[in-house]
């Protein structure tokens, strides 16, 4: 799940605009939910304990989805907690970018122009779609290695 608004001085968080889902490494979906809401089947998937939702700091995302759409995400795994367990040492305040760099020695581009851009537009740009798709694909790959 991705929402563009992190609270900066004077700027309140906006409604969740995008939700990303992967069935497996071959099927990832970027759903622009800001205008359409969350489909009933997607809601059932999120609320099921049979389907794992994975993210870095995902707890905040789940709270936001519940506040915005009244959908309670049930089965959740926070990769930052898992990284702290697996990598040892000082507990890290992980981001997906930091985990990607640590685990696969590749830089994950996270340009502020895209990350902090307008995700509430009628149609997402190709860059926004790619940004969201890369995030969910990396999360899926990292969660299957645990």
The tally of domains found in the chain comes to: 1
Give the predicted TM-score (pTM) of the model: 0.79
What pLDDT, on the 0 to 100 scale, is given for residue 141? 61
Distance CA(68)–CA(90), nearest Å, equals 34
Q: Is residue 87 part of a domain?
A: yes
DSSP state of 2: B
The CA-atom distances, in angstroms, between 42 and each of 10, 57, 104, 110 are 33, 21, 31, 27
Q: Is residue 107 part of a domain?
A: yes
Q: Is residue 12 part of a domain?
A: no
Q: Is residue 22 part of a domain?
A: yes
Q: What is the residue-wise DSSP string for 87-140?
A: H-SSPP---HHHHHHHHH-------HHHHTS-TTSSS--HHHHHHHHHHHHHHH
Does the structure show a pLDDT above 60 at 1?
no
With bands split at pLDDT 50, 70 and 90, how would you rate the model's confidence at 40?
very high
Q: Is residue 97 part of a domain?
A: yes
Question: Which residues form the domain of 132?
Answer: 18-143
Does the structure show a pLDDT above 70 at 78?
yes
Distance CA(130)–CA(132), nearest Å, equals 5
Q: Is residue 133 part of a domain?
A: yes
Q: What is the domain-level CATH number for residue 82?
A: 3.30.420.10
Q: Is residue 1 part of a domain?
A: no
Q: Is residue 45 part of a domain?
A: yes
Mean pLDDT of the region 25-34: 84
Q: Which residue has the higher pLDDT, 89 or 6?
A: 89
Question: 17-26, 46-55, 93-102: lowest mean pLDDT where?
Answer: 17-26
Q: Which residues fall within 8 angstroms of residue 56, CB to CB, at 6 or more apart?
A: 78, 79, 80, 94, 95, 96, 99, 139
């Amino acid at each position: 799940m991705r929402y563009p608004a992190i609270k900066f001085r004077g700027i309140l968080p906006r409604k969740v605009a995008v939700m990303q889902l992967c069935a497996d490494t071959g099927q990832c979906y970027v759903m622009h939910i800001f205008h359409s809401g969350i489909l009933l089947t997607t809601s059932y998937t999120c609320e099921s304990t049979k389907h794992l939702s994975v993210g870095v700091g995902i707890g905040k995302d789940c709270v936001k989805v519940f506040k915005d759409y009244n959908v309670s995400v049930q089965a959740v795994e926070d990769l930052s907690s898992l990284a702290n367990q697996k990598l040892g040492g000082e507990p890290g305040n992980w981001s997906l970018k930091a985990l990607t760099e640590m685990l696969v020695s590749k830089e994950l581009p996270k340009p502020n122009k895209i990350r902090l851009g307008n995700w509430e537009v009628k149609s997402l740009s190709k860059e926004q779609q790619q940004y969201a798709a890369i995030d969910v694909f990396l999360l899926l790959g990292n969660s299957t290695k645990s």
